[in-house]
Amino acid sequence: MPQKEISKKVVILGSGPAGLTAAIYAARAQLEPLVIEGPQPGGQLTITTDVENYPGFAEGIMGPELMVEFRGQAERFGTEIIQTWIDRVDLSERPFKLYGKDSEDSDEITTLIHADTLIISTGASAKWLGVPGEDPVPEGLGGNGVSACATCDGFFFRGVDVIVVGGGDTAMEEAQFLTRFANKVYVVHRRDEFRASKIMADRTLANEKIEVLWNTELREILGTQEEGVTGAKLYNNVEDREYEMPIGGVFIAIGHEPNTELFKDWLEMDDVGYIQANGKTMETNIPGVFASGDAQDSYYRQAVTAAGTGCMAAIDAERFLAENEADAEAPTAEVAETAEV
């Protein structure tokens, strides 16, 4: 038996911009939402240094600081935030059930959560290579010259040489975007041809500011906490040659993976695992279950768009609850006829 049971009208899984924005709106609607923090409280922004493209901060703001502001605003209106590792869910009927453990490694279910509505804001994680120097600061240089989002961080690499690792459409888009800022962009690809669509590959090859390093793998990211990225150790797998290249930034562009494995047996998803909303609202194929943020967005992946979909999901959940409560309170035909007699 679980040690604790919780029942809520609105449960939000995830505490990034999408989840906490949903919490702000749900709390202001007097729905007393519960936010379940994931393994990375605050989401991807907690490992981002300067955020300069979020409205309202003319001088920019550190990612962790921004998420502290999000959290404080959500709690101000009555949001409850807990930490538990959700092991499995049951979405077969309302209220939905979420089974929580104290940690990923634990075998014991300690918390059972009942949710009249569920907002999934579990985000997506960039795929990484696992090479030395790639980890977030302070262990590595992640967020200090190493990034997985050119749109987010490209501005900080004005006038320097950077490398983009990857060979798909994501890498092509990142490389082309970075030419607006960087002095030179090197695309590092381990094969002798791209996997990207022809039009994206052709644009990359035609760009004078982009040079492709074919049959090349990134082995290590070099630098210090004080200087950031200063170079990269590369390996040519045809020539069997390892060498160092001076560089000012590294962008890993091998794709993202939505954190939606928990719901694969319940919700409609695309081939990659992004949850499919119904198009008009943020509701999924299960009434009362909504998706927001990067868990359902493979295209924009920005903090501000995630926050927007969190707002939408909360409004959708509020309307869903109002409509279902109204239906529950309405008299049945039999009761109505009896009342007339």
**CA-to-CA distance for 49 and 51, rounded, in angstroms?**
7
The pLDDT value recorded for residue 256 is 86
Q: Residue 184's domain spans which residues?
A: 128-252
**Same domain assignment for residues 261 and 116:** yes
pTM of the model: 0.79
Query: How much is the pLDDT for 72?
Result: 97
**Residue 33 to residue 40: CA distance in whole angstroms:** 20
Residue 99 sits in the same domain as residue 65: yes
Question: How far is Cα 210 from Cα 183, in angstroms, rounded to an integer?
Answer: 9
Cα separation of 136 and 147, whole Å?
Answer: 9
Q: Which of 252, 272, 289 is the last residue of a domain?
A: 252
Q: Tens-of-pLDDT digits for all 341 residues of the chain?
A: 778 999 999 999 999 999 999 999 999 999 999 999 977 777 877 766 678 889 999 998 988 899 999 999 999 999 999 999 999 999 999 999 999 999 888 989 999 999 999 999 999 988 999 999 999 888 999 989 999 988 889 999 999 999 999 999 889 989 999 999 999 999 999 999 999 989 999 999 999 999 999 999 999 999 999 999 999 999 999 999 999 999 999 999 998 899 999 999 999 999 999 999 988 899 999 999 999 999 999 888 889 999 999 999 999 999 999 999 877 666 655 544 544 54
Residue 166 identity: G
153 included as an active-site residue: yes
243 is a domain residue: yes
d(CA 332, CA 314): 29
Q: Are residue 239 and residue 149 in the same domain, yes or no?
A: yes
pLDDT value for 38: 77
Residues 40 and 113 reside in one and the same domain: yes
**Domain-located, residue 225:** yes
Name the active-site residue from 90, 102, 116, 149: 149
140 and 222 housed in the same domain: yes
- Residue 337 counted as domain residue: no
Q: Which of 230, 252, 274 is the last residue of a domain?
A: 252
3-state secondary structure of 87: strand
Residue 25 sits in the same domain as residue 50: yes
- CATH number of domain containing 48: 3.50.50.60
* Same domain flag for 119 and 261: yes
Examine residue 334 and state whether it is found in any structural domain, yes or no: no
- pLDDT value at position 112? 97
Please work out, in degrees rounded to the nearest 5, the angle formed at the alpha carbon of residue 273 by the alpha carbons of 297 and 219: 90
Same domain, 243 and 311: no
- Total number of domains in the chain: 2
The residues, any chain, with a CB within 8 Å of residue 138's CB and separated by 6 or more, are 225
Choose the catalytic residue: 116, 153, 297, 316: 153
Instruction: Tell me which of 220, 252, 284 is where a domain ends.
Output: 252
87 is catalytic: no
- Closest to 309 (Cα-Cα) out of 120, 169, 155: 120
Query: What confidence score (pLDDT) does residue 25 get?
Result: 98
In a domain, 338, yes or no: no
The SS3 call for residue 50 is strand
**Is residue 238 a contact partner of residue 217, using CB atoms and an 8 Å limit?**
no
CA 29 to chain centre: 25
3-state secondary structure of 284: coil
Secondary structure string (H, E, C) spanning 137-169: CCCCCECCCEECCHHHHHHHHCCCEEEEECCCH
- Tokens matching residue 52: 């300069």
Question: Which member of 87, 135, 152, 327 is catalytic?
Answer: 152
Q: What is the β-pairing status of strands 85-90 and 161-165?
A: unpaired
What pLDDT, on the 0 to 100 scale, is given for residue 255? 86
